[in-house]
Amino acid sequence: MTRSHLPGILAMAAIVVASNILVQFLFGQWLTWGAFTYPLAFLVTDVMNRVYGAAAARRVVVAGFVVGVVCSLIGTQIMGEYGPLVTLRIAIGSGTAFLIAQLVDVSVFAAIRRGAWWRAPLISTLIGSTLDTALFFSIAFSASLAFIEPANDVSWAGEMLPILGLGPVAPLWVSLALADWMVKLTLALLALVPFRLLTARVSVPH
């Protein structure tokens, strides 16, 4: 790791910490404020990948993962109205989703990096974001994975409701996941602007 990687590591750490805090506050009925900050992690990973290569991007991901684990451990020790702020299932879901989705993002970006400038960040982020949402919400809230933490009652997430209040009936966590995924896709498109601005003047062959 070089000093040039430090801004990326600090940015990733800041995003992870902010997201762990903001996920506790609701935005509307289906989202938390963390849904708007966490996707920026993909922007950091992709900028590092474009400028310094896949190895540097993976180092940033590992740093973010370590910060996330620390935040989760702290959260498990802080008691809220209904128990610990971070449960075991949420901690496992968050860590697993982050690490796998980010590493997949790095690999996809590296595989198609030589195409049009927007293709690698857009496609890698769309794939990574979809994987992240699917892993986190299923691990954290699906009834089929209740064995991960039997003492943690997440039956509220299994309440059968119309999807996003409009569609066919499904468990509540499906609506939460879908809303989260839609935000991620929107931010993936918007993030192309800062990605282009941050990398336009840098030309490093990989």
Max alpha carbon distance in the chain (Å)?
53
* Domain presence at residue 61: yes
Angle subtended by helix axes 54-76 and 6-22, to nearest 10: 30
Q: How many domains does the chain have?
A: 1
Q: Is residue 168 part of a domain?
A: yes
- The answer as to whether 195 is a domain residue is yes
pLDDT-derived band of residue 206, with 50, 70 and 90 as boundaries?
A: very low
3 state SS of 201: coil
Q: Is residue 142 part of a domain?
A: yes
Residue 205 lies in a domain: no
In the Cβ-directed half-sphere of 120, how many Cα atoms lie within 13 Å?
Answer: 25
Can you give the pTM of this predicted structure? 0.89
| pLDDT computed for residue 38 by the predictor | 92
pLDDT, tens digit, for every residue of 121-146?
999 999 999 999 999 999 989 999 98
Residue of higher predicted confidence among 21 and 130: 130
Task: Identify the DSSP state of 32.
Answer: E
For 46, phi then psi, to 5°, come to: -70, -40
- Segments forming the whole domain that contains residue 68: 3-199
Q: pLDDT tens across 55-72, in order? A: 999 999 999 999 888 887
Whether residue 206 is contained in a domain is answered as: no
Q: Look up the CATH number of the domain holding residue 72.
A: 1.10.1760
